[in-house]
Amino acid sequence: MHLDLATLSLLGALQALLLAPLLLVATRAYTGRARTSLRIWGTVLVLQSLGWLLAALRGQISDWWSIVLANGVLIISYAETARALRLLLGVPQRRAWLAAIGLAAWLGIAWFGIVQPDYRTRVCIGAALVGCYLGMLLWPLRHALRPGGSAAQRVMLLVLAGAAVAWFLRLHELGTAAQAGLLQATPGNVVNMIYGTLEPVFASIGFLLMYNETAQAELRRLARTDPLTGTLNRLALDEEGRRLFGQDDALAAVMLDADHFKAINDRFGHAVGDRVLASLARGIAALLRPGDVLGRAGGEEFLVLLPRSDLAGAMALAESLRIHVTMMSLELDGQVQPISVSIGVAVRASGDRDVAALVRRADRALYEAKRAGRNRVVAADAPVA
């Protein structure tokens, strides 16, 4: 069966051109870096459409258009593809590197396309360009190969691997076959052209899957985060508490409450009070170990869960927290305002049936600290088994 590669190239151009507006309209509600990356992706599809159109007209229009301009447009589209994906992945875009690699490749292709025509050399330059851009994409995606890695990123890895295989076949063919042009139906050209026309669809699917996965992860994070302090909210605290309690390890609960916080709100206003809570959360977090859990239990109360901690260790940390907070002395509306906390500590005992019982004992100890004069640490009594 004879395949007309010029027709395939035109179909690829039409497909990319139709996909661009559909993608942009379907995702117009997206926000943040996802929206920016999708707009870049829409531009990529338009550029690829123009590049494939010019390539399909090779032999019918000037080589300046079908080689120099076509490759320039496609190189820009490849660079923007790398930029859009790196943006979505949250890694540096490396725009200067992308531009430098693309410019060097385009100058080489222009030279060996117009000044000293050499099809093989142009293909080698194109392969080197694609290899560099693929490397800049594969490196931030490498974590997807680990157990439990991102399924969407694995899809994108397959798409990129397909592009690498198509280019490898085209390069391999250069060393075994007579010189051929882009639109001659050699096996390598056919595979490269077919995959090139389908790649915008495959890559767009992978891109949207990656966005959806990122959005879902962000929603889960927001559902577990207290928006004021950035610590875990009560729902997440309960989940983490059940998880830690189920591990049968030593577990301590430290409950903290800002002293005289109502007076701060009444004197300076709730906006200033919110700043105090956020600063307090940062101060507490600075002294915790990896694996310790901090969350806002409600109002001006914070709960810290300390896995693998006995009473002596929990009391020492609680005292360090108390001293650290007293040294924070915040400047509120031009006035230095001292701040202190009362702390209750409880460690897991045989009489605790669940983590809620442990936290209740820490909470009772907290109010003992309040009644005893505030700005102190009190340990809870062990329950009767």
pLDDT in tens, 85-108: 888 888 898 999 999 999 999 999
Higher pLDDT, 13 or 277: 277
Cα-Cα end-to-end distance for the chain: 83
User: Per the domain annotation, does 228 fall within a domain?
Assistant: no
- Amino acid identity of residue 342, one-letter, is S
pLDDT higher than threshold 70 for residue 291: yes
User: Per the domain annotation, does 229 fall within a domain?
Assistant: no
For residue 255, which of 186, 341, 183 has the smallest C-alpha distance? 341
pLDDT higher than threshold 90 for residue 375: yes
- Provide the domain count of the chain: 2
* Residues in the chain, total: 385
Percent of the chain's residues with pLDDT above 90:
35
Could you tell me where the DSSP H helices lie in the chain? 5-26, 32-56, 63, 70-89, 95-110, 119-141, 151-176, 187-223, 234-245, 261-268, 270-285, 311-326, 355-371
Do 216 and 356 lie in one domain? The reply is no
User: Per the domain annotation, does 354 fall within a domain?
Assistant: yes
How far is residue 317's CA from residue 336's CA, in Å, rounded to a whole number? 26
Do 48 and 187 lie in one domain? The reply is yes
Mean local confidence (pLDDT), 136-155: 87
CATH number at residue 96: 1.20.1070
- ∠349-341-355 over CA atoms, to 5°? 25
User: Per the domain annotation, does 266 fall within a domain?
Assistant: yes
Higher pLDDT, 177 or 195: 195
Mean local confidence (pLDDT), 263-276: 84
CATH number at residue 364: 3.30.70.270
Label residue 271 exposed, middle or buried (CB < 10 Å: 0-12, 13-18, 19+): exposed
User: Per the domain annotation, does 385 fall within a domain?
Assistant: no
| pLDDT tens-place string over residues 320-363 | 999 999 888 777 777 777 889 999 999 998 888 899 999 999 99
Mean local confidence (pLDDT), 190-204: 76
Residue 365 sits in which domain range? Answer: 234-379
Specify the pairing of strand 341-347 against strand 377-379.
parallel
Residue 305: beta bridge partners? 253, 293
pLDDT higher than threshold 90 for residue 47: no
